[in-house]
Amino acid sequence: MTEDDVTHFHSIPYSHIPGEYLDAEPAAEGGDIDATVPRPDAIALSITVPAGTAASDDLPVVVYIHGGRYEKGSHTDPRAEGSANARGGVITVQIGYRVMLAGLARFHDDDPAHYRAVHDCQLALDWIQRNIESFGGDAGNVTVVGQSAGATTALWLCRKDHYRETFQRVLAMSPCFPRVPYKKRKGLLRQCVNTPLTRKHLSRANPARIKRGYGVFRRLIWSDMALGPHPLEPKKMARVPIVITSTRDEFYDLGEPADKRGSGAFAARMLAPIMGVKGNFRDWLAAAKEIDPNRLAGRLIGDSCNRRWVSEVAERAPGPVWMAEFVGSQEEPARHCREIRPLFGVHDSPLNDWLVGYAHTGEPGWEPYKQGQVARRFSLIDGSFDHVVDPLGYVREAFNPTRRR
C-alpha cells in the first residue's frame, strides 16, 4: 500500500507455529502473501519503505520490537509507525511475537535461556536477513530498537548463546527484567490458572480460563514483571554496540495514589525491600528528592522496574555502550513510553533525526559511557539535549551497591 511517498507492507508471516506452546519454525518460502491489510493479532511483521525503493538501494533497516510487559502489543504499533523514518531513507520493520504463557511459560525441556517470545523475534530477524534486500534494505546494516519488554528481548538477543549477527547494533529503551525467576512463581501461577503448567495441559485448557487466571496472577505481581527472561547477565553478552536509555519519570503513574496524598516517602520506604533496594535507602531518598520531591513512590517503582537495568548494562556489558536519558517537565513528565512517538517521528521532533542518523551511520554522537560515565539527556519537550555525568549513580548505589566497574 503506497500513501504519498511511503509504501507499507502489512502483516507478513515470518514463521509457522505448529502449536501455541511449541517453538516456531521458519515460514515456507514462496507463494502469494496479502500484505495490503493489517492483521494486528497475527504473529507477523510489517515493513515501511520509501515509495519507489529498488532492491539495489541498500537502505539501513530499523527493526522495532514492541513492549507491553510481555502481555500485549502488536507489530502494528502506531507509536512506531515508520513513515518518518522512510522519508529519512530508513526502512522500518515492526515485529510481532507471542506473549503471556504462549511466549514465556517455561517447560522441563526448555534450554535455560530459551523463551519462545525471544525465539519468535530471532526467526523474524532471520527472515529479514533472507528477504530485506528485496525491499531495498541492507541486511548488513540493521539496528534493533526495543522498548520496555521489547528492550529486554533486544538485550537477550545480544547474549552470546543467542547472537547470530543478524543485526549490528541495538537501541534498548527502558528494559525491564523480572527480579524473580519463573520457577519461584510457578506454584502461584499454577494455582491462579488451576491447570498443570505443561504443554499438554495448557494446550487442552479452556483459553478463557487461562486468561482469567493469568489476570489474577499478574495483579498479584503488580510490582514486577510477572513473566520475562531472567536473569540479566551482561557479562554473557556479545560485544554488540548498545545505546541504552530510560525516561527519567518512568512509572510516576503507579506511585500517584501515595504521592498525591503526600505519603510518597513513607510508601517508598515500605516498598524498598520488595522492590530490590539493597543499598542505603536514605541515600536513594535524598537523591530522589533532589530530582522531584513530590513523586517519590513513583520514582522508586521506575528505578526498580527499569532504570536499575539501564545502569547495570551500561556498567557491565562487554561491548561499547552509550547511555541516554529522556526528560520532560513538571507539567509533562517523561513517563514510560513517552519517547516512542517523538523518536519515530509520529510526533514531529528532532529525536527522529537522531534515530535516522544512528541507523545510517551507527554513531550515537557522544562518548561511550565507560569513558567517563557521560550520558546524553534528551528533552521530550523540544528535542534539545545536553550531557550529564553518571545520572543513574544513585540508582546503582541503591540496587547494585557491590557491582561497580
pTM for this prediction: 0.97
Please give the pLDDT value at position 180.
96
244: CB partners within 8 A, 6+ apart = 151, 171, 172, 173, 175, 310, 313, 314, 321, 322, 323, 324
Q: Which residue has the cell 535507602?
A: 281
**Domain locations in the chain?**
2-178+218-399
Q: What average pLDDT does this structure show over 352-367?
A: 99
d(CA 375, CA 368): 8
Q: How confident is the model at residue 30 (pLDDT cuts 50, 70, 90)?
A: confident
d(CA 397, CA 278): 8
Question: Parallel, antiparallel, or unpaired for β 25-26 and 15-16?
Answer: antiparallel
d(CA 57, CA 134): 10
Q: Please provide the average confidence, as pLDDT, over all residues in the chain.
A: 97
pLDDT > 50? residue 341? yes
Please give the pLDDT value at position 4.
86
Give the model confidence (pLDDT) of 88-99 as tens digits: 999 999 999 999
d(CA 9, CA 28): 18
- For residues 48 and 22, the answer to whether their CB atoms sit within 8 Å is no
Q: What average pLDDT does this structure show over 290-311?
A: 98
Give the model confidence (pLDDT) of 233-292 as tens digits: 999 999 999 999 999 999 999 999 999 999 999 999 999 999 999 999 999 999 999 999
CATH value of 2-178+218-399 in 2.30.250.10, 3.30.470.30, 3.40.50.1820, 3.40.50.2300: 3.40.50.1820
Q: How confident is the model at residue 404 (pLDDT cuts 50, 70, 90)?
A: very low
- DSSP states of 26-66: EPPSSS----SS--TTSS-EEEEEETT--TT--EEEEEEE-
Q: How confident is the model at residue 402 (pLDDT cuts 50, 70, 90)?
A: low
Q: Burial of 111 by CB count in 10 Å (0-12 exposed, 13-18 middle, 19+ buried)?
A: exposed
Sign of CA dihedral 114, 117, 119, 121: negative
Please give the pLDDT value at position 307.
99
Give the model confidence (pLDDT) of 46-57 as tens digits: 999 999 999 999
Q: What average pLDDT does this structure show over 125-133?
A: 98
Q: Which residue has the cell 530499523?
A: 62
Q: What angle do CA 226, 230, 234 make, to 5 degrees?
A: 140
Please give the pLDDT value at position 3.
85
d(CA 185, CA 227): 9
pLDDT > 90? residue 82? yes
On the CB side of 225, CA atoms within 13 Å amount to 31
On the CB side of 64, CA atoms within 13 Å amount to 27
